[in-house]
Amino acid sequence: MSLAQENEKEFSKSMSSYKLGCIWQFANFHVILISSNLCNSSHALRF
């Protein structure tokens, strides 16, 4: 395999992990948002 092909493989690997990281952060953000909303609404229901 040539050096260019090797670099391309590494690049695509890092790009896919970067995309996964972005999706992961996005999902985590929504989970936090939803859970905090649930907490707020359950507190509102209690009082």
Domain boundaries, the chain: 1-47
| H or E element at residue 43 | helix 3-46
Q: What is the pLDDT of residue 42?
A: 75
Low-confidence ranges of the chain (pLDDT < 70): 1, 44-47
Q: What is the pLDDT of residue 47?
A: 54
Which residue type occupies 21? Answer: G
Residues 23, 20, 9: CA angle, nearest 5 degrees: 150
CA distance linking residue 6 with residue 13, whole number of Å:
11
